Structure 1
């Protein structure tokens, strides 16, 4: 029984039963990628002299890197903040260690090795606007040093957009202020701005009401009190009865 790869015999095993022959490929590499089929002969031949393809064949693709899953908790952040990205792969029994690479715009820039685990968390500290981009992750059972340029195989990128945020003078981009975090101060600033807008709107409404009352008062003429004809006294000439 001969195992053929791409139409050429590569392995031979003696067949003497009805259960077939198992060809086992150990420690495969990318060079083992190809179309495999089986043929048999009653005579013993040299494997590489077999140049034929069996009736059925299977295609085996050996990948150097596999696409991992990536997840980010917050995709829109401000400069100086941090963001965490979780990347996961699949551990096998004979390959318990994973080399996971975080990729930005198709290039692996950070690597982490995990033993016996399927995931790792990458944390980017004090990021800047130039850190914006599409992030993916890939993993390999072999060790490679970044940068790696095979991240295009990943099909689930996440977009991180770093917003340009101008901080006020009472905050520092790299330090907490008064024991409070930067996020706390940002929320206070936003709340103060919202309160100022509400107060300005109320003042405008009050001013408009007062102005309208004054205008109405100017437009209404002064009227004399109504006279009671029955009780009034005439100051003109009086005619005495005869």
Structure 2
């Protein structure tokens, strides 16, 4: 049974079947980040020649991409896969004028573990990754029948020349029957060693490979 998880970017439903689809102005799987009075006509033109060597520059590029996504300025394609019922997921590619800007990958493993990872892309290279992993279990210490406990870890990875240079992390627990759950957006991020984040590039390369040739089964990680 798939469990809902707490997202920076709202995740897509994971299905067992696999297909591809192209759509224009897909915005149904992102949260509102702009004022309601913003319009598509007011979108800031993308700064494609801006250097992405600092956290501030990456944050600006992130905002530009999210602005375009929220306002329906991006095209999207997706496929869904099922890997022997051990992992199943969905990969969505967002582009503008044929240029890839964003990859979202949502998957579940063995019913109790779910991951959402999002890559922001410039010139076919990732410059920022957000990853959220959730493991859920029944809350044995709760008096409420069927109460669950979600252990959530968020990671934010800033990349320069395809190498992580700043990595942030936060972890928290959400209980289905608790009245005092933390508010994730208000929890501080902690700087962590980027050595453990090198796999972000491997995951990106794997997903990028399937943009033109989606699969119905396991993602080949070789």
What is the TM-score of this pair, normalised by structure 2? 0.20
**Highest relative contact order (Cα 8 Å, sep 6+), 1 or 2?**
2
Decide which structure has the larger Cα Rg and report it.
Answer: 1
What is the TM-score of this pair, normalised by structure 1? 0.19
By percentage of residues, which structure has more strand?
2
